[in-house]
Amino acid sequence: MQNTPSFTVAIVGATGAVGQELLQLLHQRKFPMATLRLFASARSAGKVVECAGTRYTVEEAKPGVFGDVDVAFFAAGGSVTRALAPDAVKAGCLVIDKSSALRMQPDVPLVIPEINPEQLRTHRGIIANPNCSTAVTLMGLWPLHQAFGLKRYFAATYQSVSGTGAEAVRELDAQVHALVNAQPVVKKVYPYQIAFNCIPQVDTFGSDGYTGEENKMMLESRKIMGLPNLKVSTTCVRVPVVRAHSIAVNAEFERPVSVEAARKAIAEFPGAELVDDQAGRKYPTPLDFSRQVKCGVGRIRIDTAFDNGLAFWVSGDNLWKGAALNALQNAELMAREGLLKPKKKAAA
């Protein structure tokens, strides 16, 4: 990222799963940082975290700490965002937020840089990151919308336990070991055993029978794609996979479709990698697309229930494109285009 200034960067929620991914990605992708500050709860304050040969001392996230911060990545949940984001914005800090707290507010842009980067210019101090399943799904759906004009879609998700957090990853590991060794299974995170099982509930149920996660996919797809009347129906399922979400999508389009044209649209889209070779039994899997920048799209075929319909499968890293990477890509784009500016000239 040449010819861009250096910034004072903060991660709020630095000790959590997404915060740790952000820490690694900031260094790996060489984001232009003059200073990096790590914030977390009072319980984690004073903890030392090492990355890329540098040791960072975690500070308590509280009002008044953002005075010198140019951009803060919030990865600590909605309650922290609601409590601290206004203070950060008041201090002149750009907030890029992972939580769902502000996504649907009309004055908060909800941005995937491959889809609606123009919305970055409309922010009033806060940019929201989409839900992990929405982000992965749209990496396959958006290029097809551009080619054929999306009318509606149905989706079933296969969501990894890392989407719930580090404790859920530990629970899956512990349950697998317990079952292999004929020991009792302990359930703390999920209402059912997750090892060797599937749980058709992600988030809490609403009065309509859909979960919060399922409604997020509908509402966020509409906002990001600029399709306020888009019809969406989803079933979100937690599966015993550590990392990366997968989604089976059935979509209906306004214009005639073909598998050849769909494959071409996916292959040319910067956020996706086409992996679609039936003869060679090649298609995306969560293992293949863990810690990958792009999301894999395959199993593309004509949908037999829709007119002008396509069915496909997409896999992508929920902690990267679904969270940390997407947030960082937004910041990188803003830095390149001069939309992100340091409060003062950073020390060399």
- Tens digit of each residue's pLDDT (9 = 90 or more) over 70-120: 999 999 999 999 999 999 999 999 999 999 999 999 999 999 999 999 999
The pLDDT > 70 percentage for the chain reads: 98
Provide the pLDDT for residue 163. 96
Average pLDDT for residues 124-139, to the nearest whole number? 98
- From its phi and psi, is residue 242 left (phi > 0), alpha (psi between -120 and 50) or beta? alpha
Same domain, 81 and 179: no
Is the per-residue pLDDT at 346 higher than 50? no
**Site of tokens 């293949």:** 288
Task: State yes or no: 238 annotated in a binding site.
Answer: yes
Residues 6+ apart with CB under 8 A from 47: 15, 40, 57, 58
Task: State yes or no: 159 annotated in a binding site.
Answer: yes
Active-site residue, selected from the candidate residues 93, 123, 132, 236 = 132
pLDDT in tens, 195-230: 999 999 999 999 999 999 999 999 999 999 999 999
Provide the pLDDT for residue 347. 46
Same domain, 75 and 194: no
pLDDT in tens, 31-69: 999 999 999 999 999 999 999 999 999 999 999 999 999
Q: Is residue 126 part of a domain?
A: no
Same domain, 329 and 283: no
Q: In what helix (H) or strand (E) does residue 39 lie, and over which residues does it extend?
A: strand 33-40
Q: How many domains does the chain have?
A: 2
pLDDT in tens, 232-247: 999 999 999 999 999 9
Q: Is residue 282 part of a domain?
A: yes
Average pLDDT for residues 311-322, to the nearest whole number? 98
Same domain, 80 and 183: no
Same domain, 150 and 287: yes
pLDDT in tens, 301-310: 999 999 999 9
Same domain, 331 and 285: no
Task: State yes or no: 178 annotated in a binding site.
Answer: no
Same domain, 220 and 313: yes
3-state helix, strand, coil in the chain (%, to 5): 30, 25, 45
Same domain, 167 and 95: no
Query: Helices 17-28 and 325-336: crossing angle, nearest 10°?
Result: 40
Judged by DSSP in three states, 78 sits in helix
Q: Is residue 312 part of a domain?
A: yes
Provide the pLDDT for residue 60. 97
Task: State yes or no: 318 annotated in a binding site.
Answer: yes
- Domain membership of residue 222 as a residue range: 133-318
Q: Residue 206 belongs to a domain with what CATH number?
A: 3.30.360.10
Is the per-residue pLDDT at 286 higher than 90? yes
Strand-pair partners of 314: 247, 297
Is the per-residue pLDDT at 2 higher than 60? no
Same domain, 238 and 331: no
Q: Is residue 301 part of a domain?
A: yes
The structure's pTM equals 0.95
Provide the pLDDT for residue 3. 66
Q: Residue 59 belongs to a domain with what CATH number?
A: 3.40.50.720
Q: Is residue 73 part of a domain?
A: yes
Same domain, 51 and 165: no
Task: State yes or no: 193 annotated in a binding site.
Answer: no
Task: State yes or no: 16 annotated in a binding site.
Answer: yes
Q: Is residue 139 part of a domain?
A: yes
245 carries an active-site annotation: yes
**CA dist list (Å): 270 to 31, 63, 225, 315:** 20, 38, 16, 15
Active-site residue, selected from the candidate residues 93, 145, 245, 295 = 245
Is the per-residue pLDDT at 1 higher than 90? no
Q: Is residue 120 part of a domain?
A: no
pLDDT mean across residues, the chain = 96
Same domain, 263 and 178: yes
Same domain, 169 and 22: no
The whole-angstrom separation of Cα 281 and Cα 25 is 32
Q: Is residue 346 part of a domain?
A: no
